[in-house]
Amino acid sequence: MSLFFLKSIFYMLLLFSIFLSHAAATSSTSSTTISFSKYNDFNLTWSIVNATTIEFSLAWNNSCTFDYYDWAAFGLNQSPQCSMADAEIFICNPTPTETATQFCQVRNSLAGFVEPAVDKQQYITLMSSSVVNGISTATFQRTLAAVSGSELSFNITNNTMGLIYARGSWSGDSMPSGFPNQHKDVGITKVNFYGQQQQQYA
């Protein structure tokens, strides 16, 4: 067996190992978690699943000293210096029995400082939910690209976005029935979903 042939095999194996390492690196996903509470009991976690999809998970303490938080929500705004108005909002209301067919909804605040309207196009993919030992969780996916046909949807890119968040109690039956009562816990922050940590300013 010639030296040239052995070298050719060696370089082929080397290139193949580099390819495998690159494939593993690009296919793996890492998650980032930020807390909306100084007690770390109201958190948002996300991960970029692939080139087109992002996954969000909300987790919160649903039973605090003075309030019961049936629902939690966060909203996206193209401007980092945002308010509640003109936000693409995702509100979740999981149940202990997980019998609800819909535990998160897409809403928007195009009407301003009133109860966010339910978007006519429910474009998120529901993944899982739970209510266990006082902790509610809800996970869903959406496209990184703005959703065509939605009343309000933003591109999620490698740029800082405004982020609003809130939680509160729910009246009536669980989703898709009933409605959220006015929030008792609310705030504004900003975040880059491609890895930069948020900076809370209100």
Residues 138-164 have pLDDT tens digits of 999 999 999 999 999 999 999 999 999
Q: Identify the bridge partners of residue 107 per DSSP, sorted by sequence position.
A: 89, 118
The CATH number of the domain covering residues in 29-191:
2.60.40.1210
Q: What is the dihedral of CA 175, 178, 180, 181, to 10 degrees?
A: -160
Residues 57-68 have pLDDT tens digits of 999 998 865 678
Q: With b meaning 16 or more CB within 10 Å and e meaning fewer, what string describes 16-40? A: eeeeeeeeeeeeeeeebebebeeee
Answer for the pair 183, 167: CB distance below 8 angstroms, yes or no: yes
Burial label for 45, CB within 10 Å (0-12, 13-18, 19+), is middle
The pLDDT assigned to 185 comes to 85
pTM value > 0.85: no
In this structure, the number of other CB atoms found within 10 A of the CB of residue 122 comes to 15
